[in-house]
Amino acid sequence: MSNDPGLNALEGAVGCGEQLRQAREAAGLTLSDVAARLHMPVQVVGALEQEQWERLGAPVFVRGQLRSYARLLGVDLDGLLQKAGIAPVEPPRLVSHTHTPRLRRMAENLGRRAVYVVITAALAVPVWYALDGKFGDAPPSTASLDVVPDRVPAAPSAAAGGAGTEPAARPQADRAPYIASMAPLARPSAAVRAPAPDAGMTLDFRGDSWMEVSAPDGSIVEKALVRAGEKRSYTLGQVGRIKVGNATEVDLRQDGESIDLAGYTSGNNVARFTVSSDGSVAPVSH
């Protein structure tokens, strides 16, 4: 017999399994039939009839299996459980075995924070010194691969009357390293061409109007109502087609030159035209 106190509570269930067996045989059921209906293994049904409680686990599981078996056979459930002498299921009592004083919790929190500060300082301080030393020096000079300077011009002598004294060479440690650059050497005579201030297309609205601007791929760039006095500007390649209402109140300029919209306007005062990649304007049929 098992030494488990919970299983010992089932020792009084003598005759319980025999009563279930007799009820099963009277109903004309086999162990396999009962096992199939209760969704239990055949060995569990046999253990219930043979009162082998130690094979069925904790008393709470035995109580549930007996209740299911008795309900299937129509046996008085209350009388069967009383005869079995199964102890009632009691919820476990939670007993606190450890208690941390408030001062101890505060000390542990402070200790964790101190460790965090120390670790952060150990990681951050070397990084800060490394970055400060790196960026504190003078930035290196760059020179084109076409011309690499081979000497540093000497500084003039600070002495007023030192005409015959050769100035001291600049220390090697004070010379900033040179970094080779792939950029071509700038020529003083080469003029930098600035972009034209009026490059692109501009629409000045002298009256209220509406407009629909499409990109070369057909997507809508802008579609809105425009008030008098407003202006819209677009770069070459941004616009593929433009449709403008109240065209007589709209001034079109392309690269600073005025374009008359009369040749692109229909009878309802709506101008429709396309813009090629080079900026030329052409009318559309619809």
Bridge partners (DSSP) of residue 204 are 231, 251
Q: Give pLDDT tens digits for 231-241.
A: 999 987 888 89
List of domains in the chain: 5-84 (1.10.260.40), 201-283 (2.60.40)
Where are any strands of DSSP class E within 133-255?
A: 141-144, 178-181, 201-205, 209-214, 220-226, 231-234, 241-245, 250-254
Predicted local confidence at residue 279, as pLDDT: 77
pLDDT for 280 equals: 84
Q: Which residue's entry shows tokens 């025999």?
A: 18
Judge contact between 204 and 231, C-beta under 8 A.
yes
CA 198 to chain centre: 44
Q: What span, in angstroms and rounded, lies between the C-alpha atoms of 175 and 173?
A: 6
Who's near 47: CB < 8 A, 6+ residues apart? 53, 55, 56
* Res 208: pLDDT: 93
Average pLDDT of each block of 10 consecutive residues along the chain (286 residues)? 44 65 88 90 87 79 84 75 57 60 88 90 84 62 54 47 49 53 52 52 92 91 92 88 90 87 86 85 77
Q: What local confidence, expressed as pLDDT, does residue 173 receive?
A: 46
Residue type, 178: Y
- Which string of DSSP letters, residue by residue, matches 32-59? HHHHHHHT--HHHHHHHHTT-GGGS-SH
Please state, in angstroms and rounded to a whole number, the distance separating the CA atoms of residues 216 and 275: 8
How many Cβ atoms sit within 10 Å of the Cβ of residue 19?
A: 19
CB atoms near residue 45 (< 10 Å): 25
CA-CA distances (angstroms) from residue 40 to 29, 66, 98, 204? Answer: 15, 12, 43, 88
Amino acid (1-letter code) at residue 94: L
| Residue 75, strand partner residues | none
Contact, 281 vs 273, CB < 8 A?
A: yes
